Structure 1
Amino acid sequence: MTPKPPVSRRKLLGFGAAGAAALGAGAVAARSLLDEPPVAHASSASDPFPFYGQYQAGIVTPAQDRLHFVSFDVTTDERAELVELLQDWTAAAARLTQGREAGSYGAVGGAPEAAPDDTGEALGLPASGLTLTVGFGGSLFDGRFGLAGRRPAALADLPKFPGELLNPEISGGDVCVQACAHDPQVAVHAIRNLARIGFGKVSVRWSQLGFGRTSSTSRAQATPRNLMGFKDGTNNLKLEDSALLRDHLWAAAQDGSPWMAGGSYLVTRKIRMTVETWDRTSLAEQEQIFGRNKGEGAPLGKKAEFDTPDFTAKGPDGELHIKSDAHVRLAHPSAHGEARLLRRGYNFVDGSDGLGRLDAGLFFIAYQRDPRKQFVPVQMSLAKSDPLNEYIKHVSSGLFACPPGVRDASDYWGRTLFEG
């Protein structure tokens, strides 16, 4: 039987001249990433983002609505097999992010007696802004693959923070993949197919679904709210902040690991919220804890969300508008040598905990140039002093080195690590 040509999800939707023009514009945008980009915007929620470029998509890409994050353990001990998997994953990701199927014969185009190249649940769906971002955990740099001497200093294990109760079964991992999209089925489909391709070489360690982005990564996006009802990530790094991104987000060759130049370090934290207790807390106390008003998101004592907080201003009673232990004060860059993060976390609700309470909270995601100088001091300050700790609990943690982007079809995720 002669196999049919690959079936494109975009073609199944009647993808025509307007879509072709969008893809053409995307290709131009991808080439521009080889210089100092801005990152391209998809023209609508259904359109694709470029896959190839200097930086991986899914970092400064305008944050999508849905997340499927997965951490894998590598089960093969063969370096060549791991490299081959990364090459296969890259080829599949290049297709999936453009609204195509994972393999060349797709879900229905191959021989009937063979397993399909794609699982098929995304047939008929557009690209939905899918991005796939890969990272390498510290455990990958053990003795299995000859990488021990290439572990970046910035990938040092995170310290134990006061009060954290981490579950090791949903922490860490050798390799992570972050799938973000505007359609949850598209994100889940992508992770499912990468896991299928990796069968026998990797196994899923843990995964997390997320909805409702909790940060904006572009000035074109409105600031979203977390499950406590407050606007989150007002002072986040944005893709338009080229100079700040260079200083605070992208790793550079002079940092000590040249293979990471153009990459970034990813910290994940699953933060359980006791929303039932929070919901019984007075509005005044909620606002004092955050240091912002709940409606507009303005710093206390100010009127608008993006007004600069005044940490010295006092009210008529002589008390500080923003208390000394308010979340906004403890996390502010001015308290940490101007260290900044690019956050792109998501809300989660994982059913109930069996005691009549929602298992809900924030899946925190933050990218940075060096976690030792950025995430660690900020989180240590929060862990020690933030009154918000009465209502939250950190239950999982991950740290990954996300390599630079894939330049073209001859490149692959992690090439600079394995071949550099």
Structure 2
Amino acid sequence: MTRDAGEGSRRRDASTRDGVSRRGLLAGLAGAGLAAGTAGFVAAAPEADPPGSTPDSPPEAYPFHGAHQAGIVTPAQDRLHFAAFDLTTTSRDDVVALLTAWTAAAAAMTAGRPVGGDPTSYDSPPNDTGEAEGLPPSRLTITFGFGPTFFEDASGADRFGLAARRPALLRRLPHFPADNLDAARSDGDLCVQACADDPQVAVHAVRNLARIAFGTAALRWSQLGYGRTSSTSTSQATPRNLFGFKDGTANLKAEEPAELDRHLWVAPGDDPRADWLSGGSYLVARRIAMNLETWDRSSMREQERITGRDRPAGAPLSGGEEFTAPDFTLTGRGGEPLIHPDSHVALAHPSRNGGVRILRRGYNYTDGNDDLGRMDAGLFFIAFVRDPERQYIPMQTRMAKSDLMMEYLQHRGSGLFAVPPGAAPGEFVGQGLFA
């Protein structure tokens, strides 16, 4: 987040040119009754053109504002810091103030600027924690979502006068067969997905948002991820998970606008009581531990039988290349299907799930070791869908019951969040919900 001596004057000049001064913005927010603790983080410079971009190279920064939130169809970056928060306030105004401050901070950080602008006092804590000073934006994206308990608590009480606008599809994910969930690593009122090409930039984003939230929301759980396991663009090669296999070949890509409208974006009329979610999506998060030591003692034949694809190229065992459609009817020796009907690809492929598709942004994780000296590692699964009841829950239920890979997996964390559409300049994320 490189700065120079003239940055402060440029920021002030830019904000004046756009007709919104720092003083005027803060005054307007104060007049709206926003909490003083977060109002200090609201002022931010307008977004500039992404630095370092050329017609032949991806930009160093993705714009924060837009019709949809960044970090969904954005080409998947290499690093993740995902966090879930619980609200500690009972004030609706505090929630609006937090979302307003988070939006301003996210717009600044994704553009490579420090949070809150220049320090206001040498004797006060800095507005920005500083560990990303001098680093480029690293294609940082920050995506926000609301959990079911954002609207109603466990007793069904309406927390902020928003229960009537809770999407009908937004509920806690069911306890799937074989789940071994840790409540301390599941759910949450709010979620933040920070993706970047530099882990320090991603951590810096969540750290600063947590700092801004102090007194209004508390961190419930978080997860670091590395080595993306999904591609969201046809320009990206399909990466490998910790089992060494390519996964998610048939998932949605950014270059399929008609398919995105069909499977990803919530459309007007999907849910009349949650019209504010139109243009948004639903985020499914699952922390999946992988029994690597057991897998590593399995033969290549067994690994490929379980996966349903060959390991070198990721091609289906029925033949072809990675993107060849699998033929689940093709048989081999003894009349046995070349792709086992309970293999992972057979249970997860769109053709076996009513044609539904999902957009995946999963990451590998490694969190040291357990008490038995085994690696605590696996997949932090993230998927975006238009309808979790139709696109995710039935598929996961079938896989949990019969997927051959389940012998090597344990689902330990879970969450479902409604991801509102993007915010225009001057708006905060989720503003339509409070209208």
Structure-1-length-normalised TM-score: 0.89
**Residues 41 and 49 in structure 1, CA contact (< 8 A), matched pair in contact too:** no
Query: Helix, strand or coil for the counterpart of 1:354?
Result: coil
Instruction: Tell me by how many angstroms 1:147 deviates.
Output: 1.0
What's 1:383 paired with? 400
What's 1:398 paired with? 415
Decide which of 424, 431, 434 is 1:407's aligned counterpart.
424
Q: Work out the CA distance in 2 between the residues paired with 1:327 and 1:168.
A: 27
Worse overlay, 285-294 or 157-166: 157-166
**Residues 50 and 61 in structure 2, CA contact (< 8 A), matched pair in contact too:** no
What's 1:24 paired with? 49
Query: Helix, strand or coil for the counterpart of 1:186?
Result: helix
Q: Work out the CA distance in 2 between the residues paired with 1:361 and 1:262.
A: 31
User: How many positions carry a matched residue from both structures?
Assistant: 387
Is 1:251 aligned with 2:266?
yes
Query: Helix, strand or coil for the counterpart of 2:335?
Result: coil
- CA RMSD of superposed structures (Å): 2.0
Decide which of 43, 56, 66 is 1:53's aligned counterpart.
66
Amino acid in structure 2 at the alignment position of 1:43: S
Instruction: Tell me by how many angstroms 1:43 deviates.
Output: 3.4
**Residues 65 and 424 in structure 2, CA contact (< 8 A), matched pair in contact too:** yes
Is 1:342 aligned with 2:353?
no
Q: Work out the CA distance in 1 between the residues paired with 2:56 and 2:303.
A: 37
Instruction: Tell me by how many angstroms 1:114 deviates.
Output: 1.0
Instruction: Tell me by how many angstroms 1:303 deviates.
Output: 2.7
Q: Work out the CA distance in 2 between the residues paired with 1:207 and 1:67.
A: 10
Decide which of 111, 125, 143 is 1:98's aligned counterpart.
111
Map residues 6-155 of structure 1 onto 2, 5 A cutoff.
24=49, 43-44=57-58, 47-105=60-118, 109-142=119-152, 143-155=158-170
Worse overlay, 147-156 or 391-400: 147-156
Amino acid in structure 2 at the alignment position of 1:128: S
Map residues 186-335 of structure 1 onto 2, 5 A cutoff.
186-256=201-271, 257-335=274-352
Instruction: Tell me by how many angstroms 1:197 deviates.
Output: 0.6
Is 1:418 aligned with 2:431?
no
Q: Work out the CA distance in 2 between the residues paired with 1:308 and 1:393.
A: 29
1:133-171 per-residue CA deviation (whole Å, 9 max, x = no partner) reads 000000011121011111101113222211101011110
Q: Kindly tell me: are residues 7 and 293 of structure 1, through their superposed partners in 2, closer, same or farther at Cα, counting changes over 3 Å? A: farther
**Residues 61 and 217 in structure 1, CA contact (< 8 A), matched pair in contact too:** yes
Is 1:159 aligned with 2:150?
no
Q: Kindly tell me: are residues 42 and 180 of structure 1, through their superposed partners in 2, closer, same or farther at Cα, counting changes over 3 Å? A: farther
What's 1:364 paired with? 381
Amino acid in structure 2 at the alignment position of 1:347: N
1:242-285 per-residue CA deviation (whole Å, 9 max, x = no partner) reads 00100100001211121100000000000000100000001001
Structure 2: where are the runs of 5+ without partners? 10-46, 153-157
1:59-79 per-residue CA deviation (whole Å, 9 max, x = no partner) reads 000000000000000001000
Amino acid in structure 2 at the alignment position of 1:49: Y
1:375-415 per-residue CA deviation (whole Å, 9 max, x = no partner) reads 1011001001101110000001010000000111x110110
Instruction: Tell me by how many angstroms 1:41 deviates.
Output: 9.8
Q: Kindly tell me: are residues 96 and 219 of structure 1, through their superposed partners in 2, closer, same or farther at Cα, counting changes over 3 Å? A: same
Instruction: Tell me by how many angstroms 1:6 deviates.
Output: 5.5
**Residues 41 and 62 in structure 1, CA contact (< 8 A), matched pair in contact too:** no
Q: Kindly tell me: are residues 144 and 111 of structure 1, through their superposed partners in 2, closer, same or farther at Cα, counting changes over 3 Å? A: same
Query: Helix, strand or coil for the counterpart of 1:117?
Result: coil
Worse overlay, 298-307 or 361-370: 298-307
**Residues 7 and 100 in structure 1, CA contact (< 8 A), matched pair in contact too:** no
Amino acid in structure 2 at the alignment position of 1:390: E
**Residues 140 and 196 in structure 2, CA contact (< 8 A), matched pair in contact too:** yes
1:22-56 per-residue CA deviation (whole Å, 9 max, x = no partner) reads 95378xx9xxxxxxxxxx999347x1011111000
Q: Work out the CA distance in 2 between the residues paired with 1:123 and 1:253.
A: 42
Q: Work out the CA distance in 2 between the residues paired with 1:270 and 1:41.
A: 37
**Residues 42 and 49 in structure 1, CA contact (< 8 A), matched pair in contact too:** no
Q: Which aligned runs of 4 or more in structure 1 are off by greater than 3 angstroms?
A: 4-8, 22-26, 40-45
Decide which of 339, 353, 367 is 2:370's aligned counterpart.
353
Q: Kindly tell me: are residues 5 and 103 of structure 1, through their superposed partners in 2, closer, same or farther at Cα, counting changes over 3 Å? A: farther
